[in-house]
Amino acid sequence: MTPPEAPVAGDIAKAADQPPAVFVCPQTMRKRADFLAAARARRHAMPGFVLQGRERGKDENEESGAFRLGITCSKKVGNAVTRNRAKRRLREIARLVLPLAGRPGWDYVLIGRSEVTASRDFGAMQDDLRNALSRIHQTR
């Protein structure tokens, strides 16, 4: 008997199109200086969140050129339960969208919005992130 989540022989091709279940971005932004550098770079506001993004310079690339992710929700988003829910939702849309639409060597910061991030439709938030990424990656 195979477990329900195990791919059957015909489903292997379908599973390759989806991002892996484990988060592909092990690098998270933790230093305040990284968040401030992203705040000085490009930004795009969407209904459910604000996306900030910047391309890291050659001198500041980590051991791998993978993208880094930072998530922040201030007290304006709501109480602790609402902030944690908003951060979980932002983390999940990043896990689903960034491996396909993100670029190596970039820093992305997702900022939760007041009372909207925790309650907005999940599919709409994924579309918003795709649109925001395409806008940020456009050359000026």
Q: Which of 46-50, 57-61, 102-106 has the lowest mean pLDDT?
A: 57-61
How many Å apart are CA 73 and CA 88, to the nearest integer?
A: 11
Q: What percentage of residues in the chain have a pLDDT greater than 90?
A: 66
Q: Give the model confidence (pLDDT) of 20-40 as tens digits.
A: 555 554 588 999 999 999 999
Residue 19 above 90 pLDDT?
no
Residue 112 falls inside a structural domain: yes
95, with CB counted inside 10 A (0-12, 13-18, 19+), is middle
Q: Give the model confidence (pLDDT) of 112-126 as tens digits.
A: 999 899 999 999 999
* Prediction pTM value: 0.79
Structural domain tally of the chain? 1
How many Å apart are CA 119 and CA 100, to the nearest integer?
A: 25
The pLDDT score that the predictor gives to residue 58 is 78
Residue 129 falls inside a structural domain: yes
The pLDDT score that the predictor gives to residue 25 is 47
Residue 8 falls inside a structural domain: no
Q: Which domain holds residue 56?
A: 24-137
Residue 62 falls inside a structural domain: yes
Residue 34 falls inside a structural domain: yes
Residue 57 falls inside a structural domain: yes
CATH number of the domain bearing residue 34: 3.30.230.10
**Strand order, beta sheet including 42-45:** 42-45, 49-55, 106-112, 68-72
Residue 30 falls inside a structural domain: yes
